[in-house]
Chains A and B, each alone.
Chain A
Amino acid sequence: MTALTHFRTPLLQTPFHARTAAANVLNRWGPWGGYMTALCFGDADMEYTAIRNGASVYDLCPMVKYRITGRDAAGYLNRLTLRDAGRLSVGGVQYTGWTDDDGKLLDDGTLFRHGPEDYLICCQERHLPWFLASAEGFEVEVAEVTEEIAALSLQGPCSATVLQAAGFDVFALKPFRMARFPFAGGEITVSRTGFTGDLGYELWMEPGQALPLWDHLMQAGAPWGIRPIGTDALNLARIEAGFIIANMDFIPAHQALREDRARSPLELGLGWMIDWDKGPFTGRRALLAEKEKGSDWVLVGLDIPGNVSAEGSILYYDKRAEAGIVTAAAWSPALKANVAIAQVKARHATGENLWVEIYALRELQYAKLMVPVTVAERPFFNPARKRATPPGRV
């Protein structure tokens, strides 16, 4: 009989752990997908500043990854996901999503096309049973490869320059494209993707390359103030960028216990993803019916007066009737604005006469604020450098 000891180490360590643990002077960790992940290394403000003004690295290893290969890979992904995976060219990346039969979102993620019959999906939640069930009738292999690939996100206006200093010339790389570079006797993949809404890249490698690459990047990036960042700083950046996260801004349909909690891509501002003309895909009939009938909910960006973050607050129409909930909110240092992402009932999409009730905790006393909100375009923060090719050298 095998001795069971897994419960002694309930959280796994990523291939970067030796370095992230050494840098984490606060010892602030949180769980993410079964791994230990740094929430903050020392100073969240400095980490956020690195994202927006210098270069930051974030350990992405816990991101769940599935490799899809085989003759029907494109057809399989077209049936599984909302966008046309067949039209994604080799070397390209697609931000996409997938739903259940009822058209309710299961997750969103990024789809990488490494070859004509070779794709990689990266996402927040685990979906192997669903992906395998979806494979019935298709000639594909679906394999979870989360532990086989180490990933590091390098984000910030100096990220391209840091990569060049490290020997990886990514200046020609357009957003949502990827390239391979030799490193330490092997190769790594660099994609121009990220979760900060800024200029940035994600580096994909074998776990054995993780520590040498970390050391190499930190050394090469030192002149630009490169620093590891934790989830707290990243979360602030992603709110500014207007990105949503499973189990924070929506409940994946397979996890929702209450029937009315699942949301469709149309209700989450992802309607633009849906390729109605690519042929049948799971959820299409339900989504088409919803499109004709109208959605119940809508995801909106909000601008809120004052500087108290409205996270988790309830939205009211005319200060009285409940109209929705704030799923993410922050005071944005880049915009000097109090922004929020919220789910509201579809009839309140314009934000007219919409109010938010914020409980501001001030030294053990709540101050109850009822303030009017206005609907704001997402992304809230959308710098030109995010898209510029080649990006500026700094």
Chain B
Amino acid sequence: MPMRSSEVIVIGGGVNGLACAARLAAKGRKVTLLEAGAAVGGGAGEREFAPGYRAPALAHLTQGLDARVVEGMALERHGLAFHPALATTVLSGAAEPLLVRGGKTSGPDTAAWEALHRKLSGFARVLAPFRQMRPVRLAGENRLFGLARQGLGIRGLGRGDFRELLRMVLINVHDVAEDELTDDRLKGLLAFDATLGAWLGPRSPNSLILYLDRLARGADPLLPKGGMGALATALGRAAEAAGVKVRTGAQVERVLVEGDRAVGVRLAGGEEMRAGLVVSAMNPRTTFQKLAGAAALDAGFFKAVGHIRARGAAAKLHLALRGAPEFRGADPRSRIVITPSSEAVESAFNPVKYGEVPGAPVMEAILPSAHEPGLAPEGHHVLSAIVQYAPHAPKAGLEAARAEMLENTLKVLEAQSPGLRGLIVHAELLMPQDIEARFGMVGGNWHHGELAVEQMLFNRPTFAAAQYATPLPGLWLAGAGSHPGGGIDGAAGWNAAQAILEAKA
């Protein structure tokens, strides 16, 4: 006997799972959230990686949470606050470090950067509302009113800018950098930020749209007060305050299917829990292949799920340091991006196509301990860096690739911060495979499926499950694998809850 749809199980206590659960609970659904780990937060948590040193579990910055999530969950009341937006210091070979704050910078491209930033931010502004909509369909039912409004928003750009948007929306970011800029430091920054977390290089087709998506999420990188762990804590508290029953250490092994309907879940220990709806904020491929299983799904759909591209190319570095590192005079509270040029980003991408490690990776590093002294012992520091690109399928094997990646990364860091290697107490490098094992991200891809033009909107994660409902009645998706993707943002979870609330039953 299926239970009423007012009883909901949400699988996965990451940002999207929490956002979805909280919204459903606030609307009167009886929600139980199951998290396999010891604490909620997923990619937004915090972890002691060496005795006395705490670092972000995975993500170390956010472009800002979805405004609906912040407001709807009253996150500020539950302790969420951000440090002032981080400025960016670009370190580019032997060139002078360059400070960038939004559209403001210095050097020969001061005006060009401001103009480019204004133009791209304008495009991002008209595209941003799509992030909060259920993806449109090419055929079938659409919410024409909302769609028309967004369409008008785009047309509101004016004829010239509208044409410019159409020209640029699917272009590669390297061409944009070449067209609009002369300063390699800025070209490198643009190329790096566009491809951060993606499996493509700046010269890959459609790479600019990822930069627009980044700007649409928020103008500047933000660090929560208290560290990423505080963001996870605030989300968890807000969810519980909304009425969500959170169970940690509850690993879901199977979605129970009866009479062609998802009716509950079985936990790793064998315990069965039943509910009217099962919402998976886990990876879509894991959800369908491991939890639901082939027998309950049509063959064409199951095949499409297997074809979701999910290659991660970002490695995560955590360094425990016995002193403050010095990056050529850079503000230790800034976001340090080491990227010599757009070509250098492309060159760092090339080897991963062949399962090899780049000789000179590019990276984004922050010193969380410069903002939150409590993360490391007195006078000590923690460095957190996202290093690109790391092969998701290393030819040399995981151990050898990890060692080589760490060595090459430290070499690049040492060049920009002489003496840094001597400060290292402990180093941890997470390769895409490590990230997959620790966070359940298939292929180690942050977005639970590559965020790329052909896997966006009505194709995310796959056509037949693009509107959060899945072909299996009673089973819904709410994770980053769905529109609009991940990035410590919560939009996918919130949109999913909205779709569930609007569904007939």
Instruction: List residues of chain A with CB under 8 Å of any chain B CB.
Output: 75, 79-80, 100-101, 130, 133-134, 136-138, 279-280, 282-285
Pair B295/A134 contact, Cβ less than 8 Å: no
Pair B294/A282 contact, Cβ less than 8 Å: no
Interface assignment of B323: CB less than 8 Å from any CB of chain A: no
Pair B303/A284 contact, Cβ less than 8 Å: no
Counting from the closest, the 10 A-B pairs by CB-CB distance are A137-B294, A134-B299, A101-B298, A101-B300, A133-B303, A282-B298, A282-B299, A100-B300, A280-B296, A101-B301
- Identify 13 new A-B residue pairs, CB closer than 8 A, beyond the known A79-B294, A137-B289, A280-B295: A101-B298, A101-B300, A101-B464, A133-B299, A134-B303, A136-B294, A136-B299, A138-B295, A280-B260, A280-B297, A282-B299, A285-B298, A285-B471
Residues of chain A lying within 8 A (CB to CB) of residue B293: 137
The CA-CA distance from A284 to B257 in the complex, in Å, is 15
The CA-CA distance from A79 to B464 in the complex, in Å, is 19
Partner of B299, one of A75, A79, A285: A79
Interface assignment of B82: CB less than 8 Å from any CB of chain A: no
Pair B303/A79 contact, Cβ less than 8 Å: no
Residues of chain B lying within 8 A (CB to CB) of residue A285: 260, 298, 471
Pair B299/A101 contact, Cβ less than 8 Å: yes
The CA-CA distance from A29 to B385 in the complex, in Å, is 70
Pair B300/A79 contact, Cβ less than 8 Å: no
Residues of chain B lying within 8 A (CB to CB) of residue A101: 298-301, 464, 471
The CA-CA distance from A283 to B301 in the complex, in Å, is 10
The CA-CA distance from A296 to B294 in the complex, in Å, is 30
A-B Cβ contacts below 8 A, count: 48
Q: List the B residue with the shortest CB-CB distance to A75.
A: B295
Q: List the B residue with the shortest CB-CB distance to A279.
A: B295
Interface assignment of B302: CB less than 8 Å from any CB of chain A: yes
Q: Do most interface residues of chain B lie in helix, strand or loop, or is the interface mixed?
A: helix
Q: Contacts A101-B464, A137-B289 given: A130-B295 contact, CB under 8 Å?
A: no
Q: List the B residue with the shortest CB-CB distance to A78.
A: B295
Q: Please give the distance in Å from B450's CB to the nearest CB on chain A.
A: 21
Within 8 A of A (CB), among B298-329: 298-303, 306
Pair A137/B302 contact, Cβ less than 8 Å: yes
Pair B294/A138 contact, Cβ less than 8 Å: yes
Residues of chain B lying within 8 A (CB to CB) of residue A75: 295
Residues of chain B lying within 8 A (CB to CB) of residue A130: 299
The CA-CA distance from A309 to B296 in the complex, in Å, is 46
Q: List the A residue with the shortest CB-CB distance to B299.
A: A134
Pair B298/A137 contact, Cβ less than 8 Å: no
Q: Contacts A101-B464, A137-B289, A137-B293 given: A283-B302 contact, CB under 8 Å?
A: no
Complex interface bits, B6-41 against A, C-beta within 8 A gives 1, otherwise 0: 000000000000000000000000000000000000
Complex interface bits, B410-440 against A, C-beta within 8 A gives 1, otherwise 0: 0000000000000000000000000000000
Q: Please give the distance in Å from B307's CB to the nearest CB on chain A.
A: 10
The CA-CA distance from A79 to B303 in the complex, in Å, is 14
Please name 25 pairs of A and B residues whose Cβ atoms are closer than 8 Å in the assembled complex, sorted by A: A79-B294, A79-B295, A101-B299, A101-B301, A130-B299, A133-B299, A133-B300, A133-B302, A134-B303, A136-B299, A136-B302, A136-B303, A136-B306, A137-B293, A137-B295, A137-B302, A138-B295, A280-B295, A280-B296, A280-B297, A282-B299, A283-B298, A284-B298, A285-B260, A285-B298
Q: List the B residue with the shortest CB-CB distance to A100.
A: B300
- Size of the B side of the interface (Cβ < 8 Å), in residues, is 17
Q: List the B residue with the shortest CB-CB distance to A98.
A: B299
Residues of chain A lying within 8 A (CB to CB) of residue B296: 280
Q: Please give the distance in Å from B452's CB to the nearest CB on chain A.
A: 23
Q: Please give the distance in Å from A229's CB to the nearest CB on chain B.
A: 37
The CA-CA distance from A138 to B298 in the complex, in Å, is 13
The CA-CA distance from A100 to B289 in the complex, in Å, is 19
The CA-CA distance from A136 to B300 in the complex, in Å, is 11
The CA-CA distance from A134 to B260 in the complex, in Å, is 18
Q: List the A residue with the shortest CB-CB distance to B306.
A: A136
The CA-CA distance from A285 to B464 in the complex, in Å, is 13
Q: List the A residue with the shortest CB-CB distance to B307.
A: A133
Residues of chain A lying within 8 A (CB to CB) of residue B289: 137
Q: List the A residue with the shortest CB-CB distance to B139.
A: A259
Q: Please give the distance in Å from B303's CB to the nearest CB on chain A.
A: 4
Pair B299/A284 contact, Cβ less than 8 Å: no
The CA-CA distance from A101 to B462 in the complex, in Å, is 14
Residues of chain B lying within 8 A (CB to CB) of residue A134: 299, 303
Q: Please give the distance in Å from A109's CB to the nearest CB on chain B.
A: 16
Residues of chain A lying within 8 A (CB to CB) of residue B306: 136
The CA-CA distance from A75 to B299 in the complex, in Å, is 13
Q: List the B residue with the shortest CB-CB distance to A285.
A: B471
Residues of chain A lying within 8 A (CB to CB) of residue B260: 280, 284-285
The CA-CA distance from A280 to B257 in the complex, in Å, is 10
The CA-CA distance from A284 to B260 in the complex, in Å, is 10
Q: List the B residue with the shortest CB-CB distance to A137.
A: B294
The CA-CA distance from A11 to B424 in the complex, in Å, is 71
Residues of chain A lying within 8 A (CB to CB) of residue B464: 101
Counting chain A CB atoms within 10 Å of each CB, the highest count among B257, B295, B302 belongs to B295
The CA-CA distance from A123 to B365 in the complex, in Å, is 60
Q: List the B residue with the shortest CB-CB distance to A286.
A: B298
The CA-CA distance from A134 to B299 in the complex, in Å, is 5
Counting chain A CB atoms within 10 Å of each CB, the highest count among B289, B298, B299 belongs to B299
Q: Please give the distance in Å from A365's CB to the nearest CB on chain B.
A: 46
The CA-CA distance from A284 to B306 in the complex, in Å, is 21
Counting chain B CB atoms within 10 Å of each CB, the highest count among A136, A137, A282 belongs to A137
Complex interface bits, B99-132 against A, C-beta within 8 A gives 1, otherwise 0: 0000000000000000000000000000000000
The CA-CA distance from A100 to B300 in the complex, in Å, is 7
Residues of chain B lying within 8 A (CB to CB) of residue A137: 289, 293-295, 302
Q: List the B residue with the shortest CB-CB distance to A72.
A: B295
Residues of chain A lying within 8 A (CB to CB) of residue B301: 101
The CA-CA distance from A284 to B259 in the complex, in Å, is 12
Q: Please give the distance in Å from B137's CB to the nearest CB on chain A.
A: 15
Residues of chain A lying within 8 A (CB to CB) of residue B297: 280
The CA-CA distance from A101 to B298 in the complex, in Å, is 6
Q: List the B residue with the shortest CB-CB distance to A281.
A: B298
Q: List the B residue with the shortest CB-CB distance to A288.
A: B260
Residues of chain B lying within 8 A (CB to CB) of residue A100: 298-300
Residues of chain B lying within 8 A (CB to CB) of residue A280: 257, 260, 295-297
Q: Please give the distance in Å from B149's CB to the nearest CB on chain A.
A: 29
The CA-CA distance from A391 to B471 in the complex, in Å, is 49
The CA-CA distance from A390 to B122 in the complex, in Å, is 83
The CA-CA distance from A79 to B300 in the complex, in Å, is 12
The CA-CA distance from A32 to B296 in the complex, in Å, is 36
Residues of chain B lying within 8 A (CB to CB) of residue A133: 299-300, 302-303
The CA-CA distance from A189 to B289 in the complex, in Å, is 39
The CA-CA distance from A250 to B31 in the complex, in Å, is 48
The CA-CA distance from A130 to B298 in the complex, in Å, is 12
Q: Please give the distance in Å from A151's CB to the nearest CB on chain B.
A: 27
The CA-CA distance from A280 to B306 in the complex, in Å, is 19
Within 8 A of A (CB), among B256-301: 257, 260, 289, 293-301
Within 8 A of A (CB), among B236-268: 257, 260
Q: Please give the distance in Å from A25's CB to the nearest CB on chain B.
A: 47
The CA-CA distance from A58 to B300 in the complex, in Å, is 36
Q: Please give the distance in Å from A195's CB to the nearest CB on chain B.
A: 27
Q: Please give the distance in Å from B122's CB to the nearest CB on chain A.
A: 38
Residues of chain B lying within 8 A (CB to CB) of residue A279: 295
The CA-CA distance from A279 to B300 in the complex, in Å, is 17
Q: Please give the distance in Å from A233's CB to the nearest CB on chain B.
A: 37
Residues of chain A lying within 8 A (CB to CB) of residue B471: 101, 285
Q: Please give the distance in Å from A19's CB to the nearest CB on chain B.
A: 40
